[in-house]
């Protein structure tokens, strides 16, 4: 099934920029439940309050640590381990968490600009993997020449005491679970799957499970800043990484250096609204794909109109719900896996040809449909390897999301009531994405965060990047975050895909590179194509 708020960019090696939506913070405004258990803010979310610029005495040993670097397996990179408190409210009693850190030293001889921390999103995306596979070699040479490129896997993610929940075989069952229940029995099976997932996380990762929130990860970044010897934090965050970066700015506005938030999230939204608006984002992205497809003679969804293409795709989903498609292996393509396969391509239009090919195979007539290609897309999205194992992303994602905001829904009745609004946002994906937002209702740890505004008063200029047809982080979220930040500067990319930096727009790349190298933000309301 498509994990609620698990979104990621595909595309070039770059972009394992992953997004997992909804993340709030305990220092934010008050969240409540209505009579049906749906999370919402009774009042305008209050601003995230800054922390003291002077660390408490109990945290000084963490802030005073120096990293011991050694060669990573990836050539040209150095690795280290950093300690942070498991529980910032009880740093002496709760024990420590060991975080994995990696860097690539600045390559130029000009005056260095310090460290540039990068995060690809998720939550659950490995920042170290992103650095070593893309940012450390693919960012512009001019940027890499002046900055030490640095990444830390957030707590519970990647190599930093990763959250684990289910075996590979159990994950195969979980991801194939019907996410559009037609009756009470199917709804009960979906609920049982969510409960089993949560129990697995508690059993395997109980020590850290209640301490992987975004606010804790942001506090860890300030410890890293000090350990690197930097007075301010320079940062590029993509997707969910924008929420992490904005949270840092809200907590430590005086320590904000040059910060880019690309594919921005709006922290003032509650979980139900965030999921529903993101559902609309996927519909927008699919419409762009469909417009391109129907203009081709070989479009597997027909050549009439985008709306007709959507109806044909929905019909395919309905058929796989009743009769899962065969594949080249023992697994069958269920409706939920087919949906995930299609959604995975919405992040980057470079995958559109692959999706057309996959749909052509699945839509063969007279029972000859083959789901292998769509299953491969789904597996790639879920980071399932050829041996049937799953990466940590799928476990860390709900672990962070379900702490960051109160659950969107309390139970199946709430989802049934919300389905019409989700289907209005997306006739193609709405029903399935509404039900996938139910997962946090059964999470074993209570949420510690709530919707809030991030103002970061006194911070240096922060560049917020929004893409007009972004499927995972709708453009209105970038506008919302830029408006909240007192020093926010909105940079707009009029185009398709998730995030904008390094994806082909010379205008976007020039504006961001100029800011990173010269501290000159884009002109107000700058728009690129």
Which residues belong to the active site? 239, 470, 498
Q: Tell me the C-alpha distance between 171 and 196, whole Å.
A: 11
Handedness of CA 182, 184, 185, 191 (dihedral sign): positive
| Adjacent-strand bridge partners of 261 | 237, 464
Instruction: Name 315's Cβ contacts closer than 8 Å, sequence gap at least 6.
Output: none
Residue among 86, 116, 91, 119 nearest 104 (CA): 116
Cβ(272)–Cβ(489) below 8 Å: no
Q: Tell me the C-alpha distance between 24 and 75, whole Å.
A: 37
- CB burial of residue 292 (10 Å; 0-12, 13-18, 19+): middle
Instruction: Name 99's Cβ contacts closer than 8 Å, sequence gap at least 6.
Output: 81, 82, 83, 84, 152, 153, 154, 155, 160, 161, 220, 224
Tell me how long the chain is.
529
Tokens matching residue 98? 């060991």
> Which residue spans within 274-357 are E strands per DSSP?
none
Tokens matching residue 114? 């310090």
Q: What are phi and psi of 315, to 5 degrees?
A: -65, -40
CA distances from 30 to 38, 41, 404, 450, 511 (A): 14, 6, 13, 6, 37
CA distances from 235 to 299, 346, 413 (A): 42, 26, 42
């Amino acid at each position: 099934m498509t994990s609620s708020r698990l979104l990621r960019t595909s595309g070039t090696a770059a972009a394992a920029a992953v997004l997992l939506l909804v993340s709030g913070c305990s220092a934010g405004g008050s969240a409540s439940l209505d009579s049906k258990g749906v999370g919402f803010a009774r009042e305008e979310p209050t601003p995230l309050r800054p922390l003291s610029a002077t660390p408490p005495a109990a945290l000084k040993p963490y802030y005073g640590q120096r990293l011991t670097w050694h060669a990573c397996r990836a050539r040209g990179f150095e690795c280290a381990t950093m300690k942070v408190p498991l529980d910032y409210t009880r740093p002496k009693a709760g024990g420590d968490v060991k975080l994995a850190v990696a860097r690539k030293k600045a390559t130029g001889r000009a005056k260095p600009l310090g460290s540039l921390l990068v995060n690809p999103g998720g939550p659950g995306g490995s920042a170290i993997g992103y650095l070593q596979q893309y940012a450390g070699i693919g960012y512009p040479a001019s940027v890499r020449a002046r900055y030490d490129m640095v990444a830390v896997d957030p707590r519970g993610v990647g190599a930093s005491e990763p959250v684990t929940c289910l075996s590979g075989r159990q994950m195969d069952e979980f991801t194939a679970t019907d996410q559009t229940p037609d009756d009470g029995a199917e709804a009960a099976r979906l609920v049982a799957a969510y409960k089993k997932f949560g129990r697995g996380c508690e059993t395997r990762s109980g020590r850290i499970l209640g301490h992987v929130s975004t606010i804790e990860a942001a506090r860890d970044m300030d410890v890293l800043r000090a350990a690197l010897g930097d007075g301010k934090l320079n940062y590029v965050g993509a997707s969910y990484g924008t929420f992490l970066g904005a949270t840092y700015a809200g907590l430590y506005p005086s320590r904000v250096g040059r910060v880019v938030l690309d594919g921005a999230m709006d922290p003032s939204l509650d979980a139900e609204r965030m999921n529903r608006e993101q559902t609309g984002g996927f519909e927008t992205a699919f419409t762009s794909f469909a417009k391109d497809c129907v203009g081709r003679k070989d479009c597997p969804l027909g050549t009439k109109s985008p709306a007709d293409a959507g109806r044909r795709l929905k019909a395919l989903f309905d058929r796989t719900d009743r009769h899962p498609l065969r594949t080249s292996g023992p697994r069958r393509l269920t409706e939920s896996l087919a949906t995930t396969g299609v959604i995975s391509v919405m992040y980057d239009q470079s995958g559109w040809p692959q999706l057309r090919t996959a749909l052509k195979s699945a839509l063969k007539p007279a029972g000859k449909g083959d789901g292998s290609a769509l299953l491969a897309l789904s597996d790639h999205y879920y980071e399932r390897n050829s041996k049937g194992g799953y990466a940590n992303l799928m476990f860390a994602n709900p672990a962070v999301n379900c702490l960051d905001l109160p659950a969107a829904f309390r139970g199946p009745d709430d989802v049934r009531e919300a389905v019409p609004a989700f289907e209005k946002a997306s006739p193609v994906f709405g029903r399935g994405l509404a039900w996938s937002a139910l997962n946090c209702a059964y999470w074993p740890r209570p949420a510690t965060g709530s919707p809030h505004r991030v103002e970061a008063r006194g911070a240096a200029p922060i560049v917020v990047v929004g893409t007009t047809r972004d499927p995972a982080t709708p453009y209105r979220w970038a506008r919302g975050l830029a408006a909240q930040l007192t020093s926010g500067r909105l940079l707009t990319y009029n185009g398709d895909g998730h995030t904008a930096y390094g994806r082909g727009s010379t205008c976007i790349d020039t504006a961001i590179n100029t800011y990173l190298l010269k501290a000159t933000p884009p002109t107000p309301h700058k728009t690129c194509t």
